C-alpha cells in the first residue's frame, strides 16, 4: 500500500503529465514533481495534510468584504492599519473574511500589474500589518498569475536575456494568425520589445504594461508555488487566481480555458490543500456562465468560483421590474457539490461584466441595460468581438447609483432597490462578497475618473477615515442608511442554518415581478422562503404558492412579523424582501 506521500507524488505527476504533454521539458516529470513538493515544503508524512473529500470548511457565518488596502485612509497612518481599525469598528459582527485587492508594489491597473509578488506596497504598510489582519479575519489575497508588470525585475531580466525571469514570458511572431484569440481589451495583443537578443513580440492579454507569463516553462509554475507558500506562511488562507482562464496559450486556439489551464488549477489545489487543510482557491474567470462553471471540475479544481452572471442579471431585473431572466438562470444552475461553493457578489472594484450575461440577455436587452446605466452616470468599457466589432464588455458604475431608478429614470426607491439587491444575494446558495463601497453606499467618483482617465476609477473611491466616521454617525446620510441596512441583513443571515452555502436551493415560480427561492437545512430542519418584489409597484404574494407547512410557525426574519396562515395573500411594497422561516 502506498504511503500518503507516495499517493500525493503520483497525483502531482499526473497533473504535470497533462499540463506538459506537448512540451519538451529539460527536466523529468518525477524531478519536477519533487521540486514543486519541496517548494511547498511537503517532504514527508509529518508535513502532509490529508484533505477531506467533499468537506465544507465554511458555513452560513462566512461573509467576505472586498476592499483595496487604501479604500479608507487617515493622514499619518499606514492604510492597512486604518483598514484594520475600520474592520474592527464597523464590520466585526457582520464580516469574518476580507479580500484585500493586490497589496503589492505595482505599475498600473490599481495593483493588477504586479512589480514584486513578495513585498507589500510600502505606501500601504508591511507584512506585519497583513499578518495582524489575518489574526482577526480570514484573508484573501490575489495571485495575479497570468501576467506581471513590465517594470518587474523578471521582465527587466527578460530584456537583458539573463537572470531570474529572463525566460518567463510568452512571445510570438507578429506574422501568426491571432484572430481566434479571446481578449477582454482592444489594444494590440503583441508588444514589440527590444532585448539583448533582438526584437521580441511579447504577448499582452490585457495591456502592454501587463506582460503574460509562459507556463510552458516549469520554472514559472515553481515560482508561483513559492509565492503561494510565502502567503500561506503569513496566514493568508484564500487565494483568488486572477484572470486564470488565460494562463495557457497555444497558437491557433482561443487561448482561453484550455485543458492545461484547468489542470494547472487542479495541481495548485492539490499542493495547497495538502499543505494547509483550510486553504481555499477561488477562480476569477469573467466569462460566459457555462464556461465559468467548468472551473469546479469534479469538485477537484477550484473550491469557489465567482458567480459572474449574478450582477448583470440582478441589476437588469431591478431596473426593468422583471425577473424572468434571473429566475430562468437560477433554475438552470447546478448545485455546488460539497467541497465547492459559489462566490456571490453584485459589485466589485471592476464593474458589472457583460460577457457572463451573453446568451442570457439578448442584444436589445443588453443595449437597454447599458443605456440605463449611462443615464445614471455609468461608463462603458469595450472589447473586440470575434468579428472585430467593438462590444460592451463592462459597465463601470457604483452599485448605489446603478440602482437609483429604472429604465424609466430615477425615482424615490433607490435605497430600497439597493437593499433588495443585497437581500437577494445574501439568501442565495454560496458565500457572499460585499464590496466596501456597497457596504458604505458610496456613489460614483467622477473626480477620480477625471484624474486617472480610467473608467473603473468611478467605483474606487478613497475615504478619509474621519470623514467616513462623520457620515456614518449621521443617521440621515445615505452612507449610514446603507451600512445599517446591509449590516442588519448580514447579522440575520449568519444565524440561519438554511443559509449555509451548500444547503438546498429551489427556484420558485411566482411570476415576473416576484423573485423567489427556497433554502433548506435538513440537519437543522429549517426552511426559508426568500421572496423579493423586483418592481416599483405593490405586488401580491399568495401564500398558497409557497406551500408552507401548516403545523409550523412561520416568521419573516427581516421584519420579525409572524406570517398568519389564515391570510391568503401578502402585500409586498416596492422592492420589499421577505425571508420567511419556520421557527427553530
**pLDDT band with cut points at 50, 70 and 90 for residue 45:** low
Cβ atoms of 431 and 341 within 8 Å: the answer is yes
Give yes or no for a contact between 442 and 403, defined as CB atoms under 8 angstroms apart.
Answer: no
User: What would the mean pLDDT of 262-267 be, rounded to a whole number?
Assistant: 98
Residue 389 has pLDDT above 80, yes or no: no
List, in sequence order, every residue forming a beta bridge with 435; answer none if it has no partner.
66
pLDDT at 50: 85
64-67 and 431-435: which strand pairing? parallel
E strand or H helix that includes residue 305: strand 304-306
What is the tens place of the pLDDT at every residue in 428-440?
999 999 999 999 9
The reported pLDDT for the residue numbered 548 is: 85
Say which CATH architecture domain 504-582 belongs to: Sandwich (2.60)
Q: Residues 6 or more apart from 1 whose CB is under 8 A from it?
A: none
For residue 543, give the DSSP letter.
Answer: G
Residue bearing cell 457578489: 345
Q: What percent of the chain has pLDDT over 70?
A: 98
pLDDT above 80 (res 387): no
Strand extents, DSSP E, 461-538 = 463-464, 504-508, 514-521, 526-533
| Polymer length in residues for the chain | 584
Average pLDDT, stretch 294-300?
A: 96
Is the Cβ–Cβ distance between 529 and 555 less than 8 Å? no
SS3 13: helix
Please compute the mean of the pLDDT values over residues 350-378 and round it to a whole number.
Answer: 94
Catalytic positions: 242
Q: What is the mean pLDDT of residues 371-381?
A: 96
Range with lowest mean pLDDT among 268-272, 291-295, 543-547:
543-547
Q: How confident is the model at residue 53 (pLDDT cuts 50, 70, 90)?
A: confident
pTM of this structure: 0.96
The dihedrals phi and psi of 299, each to the nearest 5 degrees, come to 60, 30
Q: What's the confidence (pLDDT) of residue 113?
A: 98
Q: What is the pLDDT of residue 245?
A: 97
- pLDDT value, residue 236: 98
Q: Give the three cell numbers for residue 568.
A: 391568503
pLDDT tier at 4, thresholds 50, 70, 90: confident
Q: How far is CA 185 from CA 82, 204, 361, 394, 559, in A?
A: 35, 10, 22, 11, 46
Which pLDDT score, from 0 to 100, does residue 44 have? 67
547 or 62, which is more confident: 62
pLDDT at 584: 65
Furthest C-alpha separation in the chain:
83
Over the stretch 141-160, which tens digit does the pLDDT of each residue have?
A: 999 999 999 999 999 999 99
Structural contact between residues 554 and 505, judged by C-beta atoms closer than 8 angstroms: no
DSSP bridge pairs for 238: 140, 280
CB 34 within 8 A of CB 403: no
Of 542, 530, 512, nearest to 577 by C-alpha is 530
Mean of the per-residue pLDDT values of the chain: 95
At 1, is the pLDDT very low, low, confident or very high (cuts 50, 70, 90)? confident
Q: How far is CA 63 from the centre of its chain?
A: 13
Q: What is the pLDDT of residue 96?
A: 97
Range 69-72 contact pairs with CB under 8 angstroms and sequence separation of 24 or more: 69/100, 69/101, 69/103, 69/121, 69/124, 69/125, 70/123, 70/124, 70/462, 71/436, 71/437, 71/460, 71/461, 71/462, 71/463, 72/436, 72/462, 72/463, 72/465, 72/468
CB 186 within 8 A of CB 382: yes
Cell readout for 375 is 443615464
Give the pLDDT confidence score for residue 478 in this predicted structure. Answer: 97
129-152 burial, b if ≥16 CB within 10 A, otherwise e?
bbeebeeebbbbbbbbbbbbbbbb
- Rounded Cα distance between 4 and 6, Å, is 5
Percentage of the chain exceeding pLDDT 90: 88
477-533 pLDDT, tens digit each? 999 999 999 999 999 999 999 999 999 999 999 999 999 999 999 887 899 999 999
Query: CB of 319 within 8 A of CB of 406?
Result: yes
Domain ranges of the chain: 504-582
For 59-187, where are the alpha helices, taking DSSP H only?
A: 79-90, 127-134, 153-160
Amino acid at each position: 500500500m502506498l504511503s500518503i506521500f507516495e499517493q500525493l507524488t503520483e497525483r502531482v505527476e499526473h497533473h504535470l503529465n497533462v499540463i506538459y504533454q506537448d512540451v519538451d521539458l529539460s527536466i523529468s516529470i518525477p524531478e519536477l514533481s519533487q521540486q514543486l513538493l519541496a517548494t511547498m515544503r511537503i517532504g514527508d508524512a509529518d508535513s502532509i495534510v490529508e484533505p477531506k473529500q467533499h468537506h465544507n470548511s465554511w458555513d452560513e457565518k462566512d461573509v467576505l468584504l472586498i476592499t483595496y488596502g487604501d479604500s479608507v485612509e487617515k493622514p499619518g497612518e499606514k492604510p492597512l492599519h486604518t483598514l484594520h481599525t475600520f474592520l474592527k469598528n464597523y464590520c466585526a459582527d457582520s464580516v469574518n473574511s476580507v479580500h484585500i485587492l493586490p497589496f503589492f508594489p505595482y505599475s498600473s491597473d490599481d495593483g493588477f500589474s504586479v512589480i514584486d509578488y513578495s513585498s507589500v506596497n510600502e505606501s500601504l504598510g508591511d507584512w506585519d500589518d497583513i499578518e495582524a489582519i489575518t489574526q482577526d479575519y480570514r484573508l484573501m489575497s490575489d495571485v495575479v498569475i497570468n501576467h506581471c508588470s513590465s517594470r518587474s525585475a523578471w521582465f527587466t531580466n527578460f530584456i537583458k536575456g539573463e537572470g531570474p525571469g529572463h525566460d518567463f514570458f510568452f512571445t510570438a511572431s507578429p506574422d501568426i494568425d491571432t484572430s481566434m484569440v479571446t481578449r477582454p481589451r482592444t489594444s494590440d495583443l503583441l508588444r514589440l520589445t527590444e532585448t539583448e537578443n533582438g526584437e521580441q513580440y511579447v504577448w499582452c492579454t490585457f495591456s502592454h504594461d501587463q506582460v503574460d507569463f509562459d507556463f510552458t516553462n516549469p520554472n514559472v509554475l515553481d515560482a508561483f508555488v513559492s509565492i503561494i507558500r510565502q502567503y500561506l506562511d503569513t496566514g493568508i488562507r484564500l487565494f483568488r487566481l486572477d484572470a486564470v482562464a488565460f494562463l495557457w496559450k497555444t497558437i491557433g486556439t482561443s487561448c482561453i480555458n484550455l485543458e492545461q489551464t484547468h489542470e494547472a488549477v487542479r495541481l495548485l489545489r492539490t499542493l495547497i490543500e495538502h499543505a494547509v487543510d483550510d486553504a481555499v482557491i477561488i477562480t476569477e474567470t469573467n466569462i460566459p456562465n457555462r464556461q465559468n462553471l467548468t472551473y469546479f471540475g469534479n469538485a477537484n479544481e477550484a473550491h469557489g468560483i465567482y458567480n459572474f452572471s449574478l450582477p448583470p442579471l440582478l441589476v437588469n431585473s431591478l431596473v426593468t421590474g422583471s425577473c424572468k431572466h434571473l429566475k430562468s438562470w437560477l433554475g438552470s444552475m447546478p448545485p455546488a457539490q460539497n467541497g465547492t461553493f459559489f462566490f456571490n457578489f453584485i459589485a466589485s472594484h471592476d464593474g458589472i461584466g457583460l460577457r457572463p450575461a451573453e446568451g442570457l440577455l439578448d442584444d436589445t436587452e443588453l443595449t437597454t441595460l447599458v443605456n440605463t446605466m449611462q443615464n445614471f452616470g455609468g461608463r462603458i468599457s469595450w472589447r473586440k468581438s470575434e468579428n472585430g466589432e467593438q462590444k460592451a464588455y463592462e459597465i463601470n458604475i457604483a452599485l448605489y447609483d446603478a440602482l437609483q431608478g429604472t429604465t424609466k429614470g430615477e425615482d424615490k426607491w433607490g435605497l430600497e432597490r439597493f437593499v433588495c439587491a443585497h437581500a437577494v444575494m445574501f439568501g442565495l446558495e454560496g458565500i457572499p462578497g460585499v464590496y466596501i463601497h456597497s457596504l458604505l453606499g458610496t456613489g460614483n467618483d467622477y473626480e477620480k475618473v477625471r484624474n486617472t482617465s480610467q473608467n473603473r476609477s468611478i467605483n474606487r473611491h478613497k475615504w478619509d477615515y474621519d470623514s467616513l466616521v462623520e457620515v456614518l454617525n449621521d443617521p440621515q446620510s445615505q452612507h449610514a442608511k446603507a451600512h445599517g441596512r446591509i449590516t442588519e441583513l448580514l447579522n440575520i443571515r449568519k444565524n440561519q442554518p438554511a443559509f449555509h452555502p451548500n444547503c438546498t436551493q429551489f427556484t420558485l415560480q411566482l411570476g415576473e415581478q416576484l423573485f423567489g427561492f427556497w433554502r433548506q437545512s435538513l440537519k437543522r430542519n429549517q426552511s426559508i422562503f426568500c421572496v423579493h418584489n423586483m418592481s416599483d409597484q405593490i405586488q401580491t404574494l399568495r401564500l398558497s404558492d409557497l406551500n408552507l407547512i401548516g403545523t409550523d410557525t412561520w416568521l419573516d426574519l427581516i421584519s420579525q412579523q409572524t406570517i398568519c396562515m389564515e391570510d391568503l395573500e401578502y402585500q409586498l411594497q416596492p422592492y420589499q424582501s421577505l425571508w420567511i422561516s419556520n421557527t427553530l
